[in-house]
Amino acid sequence: MPLKALASLCLVALLSGCYYLQSTVIPIQAIHYPHQAATQEQKQLKQLMVLLPGIGDRASAFDKHGVIEMIRAAYPTMDIVAVEAHVKYYSARTIIVRLRQDIIKPALDAGYSEIYLGGISMGGIGSLLYLKNYPDDISKIFILAPYLGDPQDYNYLIENTAPTQPPRDVNLWPWLTQLPDATKNKIYLAYGNNDKFAIPNTLLARQLPPEHTVTQAGKHNWKTWIQLWPQLLKNVH
């Protein structure tokens, strides 16, 4: 590799906090934020929010941008886990297995009666994939500006035509357009009107109850998401 190219690669890795140099470790790593229950009754409440970051973000981004504090303020008895669910787990097609074996199943075994998923961008499609595979594990999912595939996956919905090619294994649209009511009622969506994924997000919103979608002015960034999070959190109960 030319020295200049190597230097550029090192610079990118440095600026991204070595994000793309991470490996798919087993078990998947996570940051735990247990609640500080004040009473015995509060200690018996077993609720868990599992957070999945977007591409380029680490699990710590939720704390950095105030999401942990928002959840704690709204639901002081809720435990929180921010998962290091980086892009390599998705490309290796192991994200659902790792979430199930390392995070969700242990929580169910520990007696959590309500488990919620919260995902941003890539973490949004991760939340949907988990709900598709294990709907009984999850009480609700809260997804912000989720990545929902390439235009070839959903253009037929815009054009009001039939799909022209077999769906890819990561194409959720055949499922999203035929959601049973019980599943629809578990999905809460938020995105900025100027988000780069606004078109597919709008298509998803059409599949959900109207009150399950929150929009506002904004793009695909944390400035928008930190304004949308409190509105989504109102729907936990």
Residue 164 confidence (pLDDT): 64
Q: Is the pLDDT of residue 157 over 60?
A: yes
CA dist., res. 196 & res. 76, Å (int)? 34
H-assigned helices in 85-197? 87-91, 95-98, 105-109, 122-133, 151-159, 173-176, 181-184
Give the pLDDT confidence of 83-94 residue by residue, as tens digits. 999 999 999 999
For residue 178, CA distances in Å to 132, 156, 173, 175, 181 come to 12, 15, 8, 5, 9
Report percent pLDDT > 70 for the chain.
83
Quick check: 109 and 35 in contact, CB under 8 A? Answer: no
Give the pLDDT confidence of 189-230 residue by residue, as tens digits. 999 999 999 999 999 999 999 999 999 999 999 999 999 999
Domains, the chain, ordered by start: 27-233 (3.40.50.1820)
Give the pLDDT confidence of 29-48 residue by residue, as tens digits. 999 999 976 556 655 669 99
Residue 5 confidence (pLDDT): 42
What mean pLDDT comes out for the span 46-63?
97
For residue 42, CA distances in Å to 51, 82, 121, 202, 235 come to 22, 22, 32, 38, 20
| pLDDT band, very low/low/confident/very high, at 7 (cuts 50, 70, 90) | very low
Average confidence score pLDDT of the chain: 88
Task: Give the sign of the dihedral formed by CA 94, CA 213, CA 51, CA 137.
Answer: negative
CB-side neighbour CA atoms (13 Å) of 144: 28
Give the pLDDT confidence of 158-197 residue by residue, as tens digits. 767 666 665 566 789 899 999 999 999 999 999 999 999 9
Q: Is the pLDDT of residue 6 over 70?
A: no
